[in-house]
Amino acid sequence: MFSGLSAFPLTPCKAGYVDEVSFEKLVVRLVEADVDSIGLMGSTGCYAYFTPQQRERIIQQAKSLAGTTPVIAGVGAISTQEVLQRVEQAQKLGVDALLLAPVSYHSLTHEEVFGLFEKVNRNSSIPICVYDNPGTTHFHFTPELYAELTSLSQVRSIKIPGTSTQLADAKREISELRQQLPADIALGISGDAYAKNGLLSGCAVWYSVCAGVFPVVAKRLAQAALSGESERAEAINRQLSPLWQLFTQYRGSLRVIAAAASIMGLTERDCLPRPIQPLPDSARNEVAKVLNELALR
């Protein structure tokens, strides 16, 4: 499960509600592309914005469509109590693993973050992926905290943010981190622009935004990098670099990938939960131009 390509789809909205028709299109697209897992309600899936009732329906629908494809569900929330409620709900609905980020309003200490994961570990019968996303949580994990968390029985993967855009630097950084962790802990790379280097440097899985809409090309990149075909992986990554540049230009990948999904006819034009707004027309036109130039389908 924690290997290969893990695709993170949007959770599209329409008039304040989850757009189940569009969501089905996205999930079916991933299943047909034979991704290795589906990352449900990650940051791209806007996990922080949905009620328990909405989350229940999202998980139910994803599980009904996923078939044998493993489903990993985000369970992050501000309070430990709400996290545990989400953990219980996700397990009852049959998800295969949990994705947990240390969400907070007040800054958390390392001890508090370990305590959160320890509590979830005691209440989970399924694997946990540690979700390190300082761009949204503003919490910065250390290698020492990673290592401490791997002592918990259900922690099986760590989703690390992008390292270096230089392959030699990425190899050194990931090698140093790998040496501090048990061999059976799956390191996963996130930040799509860093995926090629991460996978060529020893990460086992790409937790991908791009794959949530464009799973076929993302799978080609993942397979090339994981098999050590560095030149082929570099060529595919170079092809996708205009998309990565848009992610940087527009303050992250969410609004760009939402625009891409709507341009592809997979979602409504305005498909993000409020208060998040879609890209303005000028930016949307840039996204459309890149999709056309790259022949992304």
State which H helix or E strand residue 73 sits in: strand 71-74
Question: Quick check: 72 and 97 in contact, CB under 8 A?
Answer: yes
Question: Quick check: 65 and 28 in contact, CB under 8 A?
Answer: yes
Q: What is the pLDDT of residue 138?
A: 94
CATH of 4-225 given 3.20.20.70, 3.60.15.10, 3.40.50.300, 2.30.42.10? 3.20.20.70
| DSSP label of 96 | S
- Going from the C-alpha of 238 to that of each of 40, 94, 119, 215, 222, the distances in angstroms are 28, 38, 42, 17, 14
Question: What is the pTM assigned to this prediction?
Answer: 0.97
Q: What is the pLDDT of residue 164?
A: 82
- Strand, coil or helix: 232: helix
Q: What is the pLDDT of residue 219?
A: 99
Q: Pairing between strand 4-7 and 13-14?
A: unpaired
Q: What is the pLDDT of residue 29?
A: 99
Look up residue 65 and give its two tokens. 């469509």
Q: Is the pLDDT of residue 163 over 90?
A: no
Alpha helices, H only, 33-184 = 52-66, 80-92, 110-122, 134-137, 143-149, 167-179
Give the phi and the psi of residue 98 in degrees, each rounded to 5.
-115, 145
Q: Is the pLDDT of residue 165 over 90?
A: no
Residue 89 to residue 65: CA distance in whole angstroms: 18
**pLDDT tens-place string over residues 238-247:** 999 999 999 9
**pLDDT tens-place string over residues 258-274:** 999 999 999 999 999 99
Among 4-18, 67-81, 163-177, which is the least confidently predicted range? Answer: 163-177
Give the phi and the psi of residue 200 in degrees, each rounded to 5.
-70, -15
**pLDDT tens-place string over residues 199-228:** 999 999 999 999 999 999 999 999 999 999
Q: What is the pLDDT of residue 254?
A: 98
Q: What is the mean pLDDT of residues 246-256?
A: 97
The structural domains of the chain, with segments of one domain joined by +, span: 4-225
